Amino acid sequence: MFEPIERVPGDAILGLIQQFKDDPNPNKVDLGVGVYRDESGVTPIMRAVKAAEKQLIDDEQTKSYIGSHGDPEYGADVLKLVLGANSPVLAADRASATQSPGGTGALRLAADFIASQLPGKSIWLSEPTWPNHLGVFSAAGIEIKRYPYVDDQNQLDFAGMLAALENIPKGDVVLLHACCHNPTGFDLSRDQWQNVLNVLRERELLPLVDFAYQGFGNGLDEDAYGPRLLAENLDEVLITQSCSKNFGIYRERTGCFIAVAKDTEQMENVRSQLAITARENYSNPPGHGSAIVATIFNSPELDQMWRDELKVMRNRINDLRKQFVAGLEPHGLADRFAYVAEQRGMFSYTGLTKAHVERLRDEHSIYMVGSGRANVAGLNADNIEYVCNAIAQVVK
Ligand SMILES: Cc1ncc(COP(=O)(O)O)c(C=O)c1O
């Protein structure tokens, strides 16, 4: 039976990781990986997370199922984190939280919900976007369409994006990155979010906001500007949230699917459908990550510790962005790469071409994705000058 099954190539990024491992050059630099790295190149467990886990060992009473919507305490915490503790949306009781296996699980819930409850609607993704968006939505049988996001000069193409949104058929779904756009790092300004809101309202489009990096851009509340604006001004908004990055609990698979509806009645209707969607996919979400998050939010001390640690991570990335541009200054390249300091989140569309990326890898053992996407958190005090010098050599 298995004879006709063909082998497909593995994930390009996984291939890159292997190549990096096999490279004997002691100066090699990994800018391809998709996780946060600290100054010593480690993806650390946050102290607040460790402390919460220690507490859970003593306090956790059961490992029984937590239900299709997950832990209600975690759901309430995430709603406040994403929408704001004093959100009018929460006061009106028109937002529902369904705990999910990571942000990817939340996206799959969103995809199945759209496919089953809004049949015939297409989803519009930025070009480029996180590659797995294509996989998740096509696996659910949803037609994928694209809107432009970056122009030939490697700048945010907001005019192109808005013009495309203005022509999307009524009722279609538009996926927006809340902050720290992956892979480009180009985020919308507050004015641009307002423009997007106006078009969504006029065209009666349904936004699906992917919020995987809250706290990695400018701050927990600052990064939530877009999703909060939409949730407070539109009747219907979908949000997929992830705790993978901002709590550093990637492998605990902890996320949330938030559905904002016009009123409590409609929200409860949607929520009832989501319980079925979750149940048919995986029954119940995993419980360890959500217990960690709820334990942290339950303790003012751990909550503060977590916020402080997250701030250190965010500042490190934003400082590295500035240092990178400064490191290119002696080569006369600071203006050309100035946008790297303005981008937000871990990732940067550097504007380097595939040929540049190949030379960086082959001649300097610097690894990044073929699109020129670099993980800024892979830089550190020891390698940043080496990387800047190498870039100067390949672009000249
Ligand atoms: C844009 C975006 N959305 C969602 C996710 C999903 O994150 P996870 O499933 O690890 O929580 C990621 C992870 O890289 C991402 O970059």
Token pair belonging to 251: 């492998």
Q: How far is the CA of 128 from the centre of ligand 1 (A)?
A: 15
Q: How far is the CA of 19 from the centre of ligand 1 (A)?
A: 23
Q: How far apart are CA 332 and CA 252, in angstroms?
A: 44
Q: How far apart are CA 301 and CA 271, in angstroms?
A: 33
Q: Is residue 210 among the annotated active site residues?
A: yes
What is the amino acid identity at position 326? Answer: A
Residue to mutate, 109, 177, 210, ligand 1, most ligand atoms under 8 Å from C-beta: 210
**Confidence (pLDDT) at 175:** 98
Q: Do 13 and 261 meet the contact criterion of CB atoms below 8 Å apart? A: no
Q: How far apart are CA 193 and CA 208, in angstroms?
A: 14
Comparing CA positions, the residue from 157, 215, 159 lying closest to residue 184 is: 157
**Confidence (pLDDT) at 198:** 98
**Confidence (pLDDT) at 17:** 86
Distances 161 to 65, 264, 371 between C-alpha atoms, Å: 43, 33, 20
Cβ–ligand 1 contact at 34 (below 6 Å):
yes
Q: How far apart are CA 135 and CA 158, in angstroms?
A: 25
**Helices vs. strands in the chain: H and E counts, helices first:** 16, 11
Q: Is residue 245 among the annotated active site residues?
A: yes
Comparing CA positions, the residue from 6, 384, 346, 9 lying closest to residue 182 is: 346
Q: State the virtual CA torsion across 263, 204, 217, 17 in degrees, nearest 10.
A: 110
**Confidence (pLDDT) at 121:** 98
Which DSSP helix (H) or strand (E) runs through 345?
A: none
Q: How far is the CA of 103 from the centre of ligand 1 (A)?
A: 5
Cβ–ligand 1 contact at 375 (below 6 Å):
no
* Three-state secondary structure readout of 194-233: HHHHHHHHHHCCEEEEEECCCCCCCCHHHHCHHHHHHHHH
Please provide residue 105's backbone torsions phi and psi, each rounded to the nearest 5 degrees.
Answer: -65, -40
Q: Do 162 and 197 meet the contact criterion of CB atoms below 8 Å apart? A: no
pTM over 0.75: yes
Cβ–ligand 1 contact at 210 (below 6 Å):
yes
Q: Is residue 193 among the annotated active site residues?
A: no
Comparing CA positions, the residue from 342, 345, 352 lying closest to residue 388 is: 352
Cβ–ligand 1 contact at 255 (below 6 Å):
yes
Residue labelled with tokens 């949000």: 239
120 burial class (0-12, 13-18, 19+ CB within 10 angstroms)? Answer: exposed
Q: Decide the pairing of beta strands 255-260 and 95-100.
A: antiparallel
CATH topology of domain 12-45+302-395: Aspartate Aminotransferase, domain 1 (3.90.1150)
Residue with CA at minimum distance from ligand 1 atom 12: 212
Q: Check 112, 187, 210, 223 and give the catalytic one.
A: 210
Q: How far apart are CA 244 and CA 246, in angstroms?
A: 6
Q: Confirm whether 12-45+302-395 and 65-298 share one CATH topology.
A: no
* Three-state secondary structure readout of 275-288: HHHHHHHCCCCCCH
Comparing CA positions, the residue from 263, 335, 369 lying closest to residue 32 is: 369
Q: Do 116 and 273 meet the contact criterion of CB atoms below 8 Å apart? A: yes
Q: How far apart are CA 164 and CA 158, in angstroms?
A: 10
Token pair belonging to 246: 């901002």
Domain residue ranges of the chain, discontinuous segments joined by +: 12-45+302-395, 65-298
Token pair belonging to 58: 């003593």
What is the amino acid identity at position 315? Answer: N
Per CATH, the number for 65-298 is 3.40.640.10
DSSP string spanning 123-189? Answer: EEEEES--HHHHHHHHHTT--EEEEE-B-TTSSB-HHHHHHHHTTSPTT-EEEEESSS-TTT-----
pLDDT by residue for the chain (396 residues), tens only, comes to: 999 999 988 777 778 888 999 999 999 999 998 899 999 999 999 999 999 999 999 999 999 999 999 999 999 999 999 999 999 999 999 999 999 999 999 999 999 999 999 999 999 999 999 999 999 999 999 999 999 999 999 999 999 999 999 999 999 999 999 999 999 999 999 999 999 999 999 999 999 999 999 999 999 999 999 999 999 999 999 999 999 999 999 999 999 999 999 999 999 999 999 999 999 999 999 999 999 999 999 999 999 999 999 999 999 999 999 999 999 999 999 999 999 999 999 999 999 999 999 999 999 999 999 999 999 999 999 999 999 999 999 998
> What atom in ligand 1 is closest to the CA of residue 244?
11
